[in-house]
Structure 1
């Protein structure tokens, strides 16, 4: 919704948005906006600061009191530092001076809409979801049960969380689930992809800058962290943040304050940090690429997401979920997946994890032409890719069967856990020995992440000395 008492500005913004495929509502006053919001859900509000009647700041206060999760971009002909700070504290997504550049405004609108969608879209923790609306963390496997329990324990707190896992394992979904189940759910949820933003721009994106701080800094800008006051900031791929920015993040976590580029005074801010990485931070610390003191500040609670090949039993559930989800979004009938096709999906290694599985299922649905997805179609899509091939000794099955029967006859329980832990302990110990204690190399050969290997070492009581020279 565009809220401006200037009809020319309303028309200009309306044309810009309509030409970009957006649906637009218009209002001349804050009162009209608030009346509309009573019966019409909005995704974004673009509002003039100096409106007749209720001002922009007064309207922001009312929106905040009503716990509206709708980003607001404020437009103004002029603005003092106090105006910008007050609007930011009241939850304004950004403060834009007129006249604006159309392409820059469209980019800002896209970012604001994405932020609003993440704030409003719940992430359900469902072992076997029957609904396809919204986003879901799916899986019944033991590693996923551990993830669900960790989210449940940490979400209600304000504790800093480090989410670890490979690309495509669902780190962003886990972060959103923590936010959705936290006491900060009515505050902003801001995602910062630390890899996608150039190093030269990342610091200003996070902390903002003062007018004149550098060339082209023709006005003051509020950073993502300051905007997210009383909310949550998700720093995706924190391992790629440059050292100079790491120092500022450390100050934020220690002192709850930031300083804009070119600023002369600290600004108190209340945000929760959730960070994620697929990097080996411990190895980065050894090579000087990551600050050890920051590592301990962000690693208060660590949550490890398993790779898909560590929870193979969940693949059929995920395949059914994605088939239902994509058939809804594509507007086609869900033909289902044949059991033999699911068996092939379970044998594939999935280096791209859940994201790769989702892409594969979407392709299967498109090419199935309404028929149940067959083994041949799945084989075609994963042909030429690495599959899991395990050389099992001929007498292995017989040994396991004999062990089970002997222990059952003696009345023992917990057979599955005992045998699984015993075999896992043997495999990990032998792999580490073969890798001369190099845990990173052993994790790669085992097909698990390094954090997962460290977790299993602790859980199984394996005290294997690491290789000091080569464990990188």
Structure 2
């Protein structure tokens, strides 16, 4: 797909030659024969890129370039000159030129430089549009006032200003991407790109090209060179989502790049160096994946400089009302829906629901309620069946049994107090050790299942078992 290009050159022959090359490659061309005329055209319509001659009558090319970089930041400008020197080229690049081409113009150089400049321009525009959309639609911090979210937001604010790499874990739909975005937005790299890669969505045969870029002709269909995600994220943040789904082969290559911050394009020989902060996320138990031979242990510890776990919605039920209000406001703003509200009975039911799909499920649920009841109040009896069945009433017989159990537990605690240690810390440790021993027997020694059941990472669980001298064979 072609772009719109402005040529600023006082030589009619050069403008004619450039126009022919560029129009043959599918671009639209506008011409200016002086710097003043070129700046005037830029005041009415912004092209995708500019070809600018250095030697111009009146205002010279470098002065024009300074005006363009000041008034149209990020607009790629390729300088052209028949009397170029290294000193002039360096000066132009320091001012902000995208590239420098000497006359006589080479058709191949012009075509490649133009495509690269237009690709850069479009990626920058997409990035700006995405940042604008994110700033208006997405929260910078996780919504919520519950203890787990307050703690998580506090930890994010501490790690964000550093350059430390972060490994985010948590169930699907908990908001791992929002955490990554929050870290980036609060970091010193916030004015640079945040490039996200879904490692599970890219086919194995394409992931190297996607991450590292490729040269023209590197494989069938590679009709032009292309930058990879690492290059696009240079100076900013690379978010590797679903890192646990990456193949072992790609993991090995990623590890080398993460260690060295350098790589080559697929089919290329030139070493490319980058400065990238890496944030990775997964819903998998990576220690379990390591044990099963599906994930590299060295990559795990390379990524896990600073671990963050996002709590599931069922552990922060107090945030459900706040999240619903946020989603209602967002849907009204985005789609012009008439607002809906939920009565106290509906809200209580929703707080007690387990939310297996977490915040993503809640968002989809609110949108469904908008479609059904825009402008109305939603009561508990209007909720879908799965929400009502998830909060069933306790039968009277079961309730009386619970009372008996509570009485028995009370007697048990009194016995422990009478016979056990006086120190609260020691009492807690003894109980925890017995609890873990019982659970370990229940799961027949399966550490992964035990860790998931008690809500600990495998490494933390191993340390506890070792401290309590509990055998894990």
Task: Work out whether 1:116 is the aligned partner of 2:128.
Answer: yes
Instruction: Report 1 or 2 for greater relative contact order, CA contacts < 8 Å, sequence distance ≥ 6.
Output: 1
Checking the alignment, whether the CA contact within 8 Å between 1:365 and 1:373 is kept in structure 2 is: no
Give the stretch that moved more between structures: 310-319 or 234-243. 310-319
User: 1:48 and 1:118, CA in 2 relative to 1: closer, same or farther beyond 3 A?
Assistant: closer
User: 1:185 and 1:402, CA in 2 relative to 1: closer, same or farther beyond 3 A?
Assistant: farther
Task: Work out whether 1:330 is the aligned partner of 2:315.
Answer: no
User: 1:155 and 1:60, CA in 2 relative to 1: closer, same or farther beyond 3 A?
Assistant: farther
| Structure 2 counterpart of 1:436 | 444
Checking the alignment, whether the CA contact within 8 Å between 2:465 and 2:471 is kept in structure 1 is: no
What is the TM-score when the length of structure 2 is the normalising length? 0.69
Q: CA deviation at 1:136?
A: 4.5
| Structure 2 counterpart of 1:151 | 156
Q: CA RMSD in A?
A: 5.0
Give the stretch that moved more between structures: 432-441 or 262-271. 432-441
Deviations 1:152-198 (A, max 9, x none): 11101111111111111101100000000001111111111111111
| Structure 2 counterpart of 1:171 | 176
| Structure 2 counterpart of 1:412 | none
User: 1:134 and 1:160, CA in 2 relative to 1: closer, same or farther beyond 3 A?
Assistant: closer
Checking the alignment, whether the CA contact within 8 Å between 2:235 and 2:276 is kept in structure 1 is: yes
Indicate the SS of the match to 2:48.
Answer: strand
Q: CA deviation at 1:204?
A: 0.5
Query: In structure 2, how many angstroms separate the alpha carbons of the residues matched to 1:321 and 1:30?
Result: 47
Bigger helix share:
2
User: 1:149 and 1:121, CA in 2 relative to 1: closer, same or farther beyond 3 A?
Assistant: farther
Query: In structure 1, how many angstroms separate the alpha carbons of the residues matched to 2:468 and 2:50?
Result: 63
| Structure 2 counterpart of 1:277 | 282
Q: CA deviation at 1:339?
A: 1.2
Give the stretch that moved more between structures: 47-56 or 204-213. 47-56
Task: Work out whether 1:180 is the aligned partner of 2:185.
Answer: yes
Checking the alignment, whether the CA contact within 8 Å between 1:3 and 1:27 is kept in structure 2 is: no
Which blocks of at least 5 consecutive residues in structure 1 are unaligned?
A: 15-25, 38-44, 77-82, 124-130, 405-414
Aligned length: 406
Query: In structure 2, how many angstroms separate the alpha carbons of the residues matched to 1:252 and 1:319?
Result: 42
Checking the alignment, whether the CA contact within 8 Å between 1:161 and 1:299 is kept in structure 2 is: yes
Query: In structure 2, how many angstroms separate the alpha carbons of the residues matched to 1:421 and 1:46?
Result: 69
1:294 to 299, 303, 317: 299
Checking the alignment, whether the CA contact within 8 Å between 1:122 and 1:177 is kept in structure 2 is: no
Question: 1:371-382 counterparts in 2 under 5 A?
Answer: 371-380=376-385, 382=387
What is the TM-score when the length of structure 1 is the normalising length? 0.69
Deviations 1:58-90 (A, max 9, x none): 979976x8996x7x78999xxxxxx9xx89x98
Query: In structure 2, how many angstroms separate the alpha carbons of the residues matched to 1:464 and 1:36?
Result: 76
1:366 to 371, 378, 381: 371
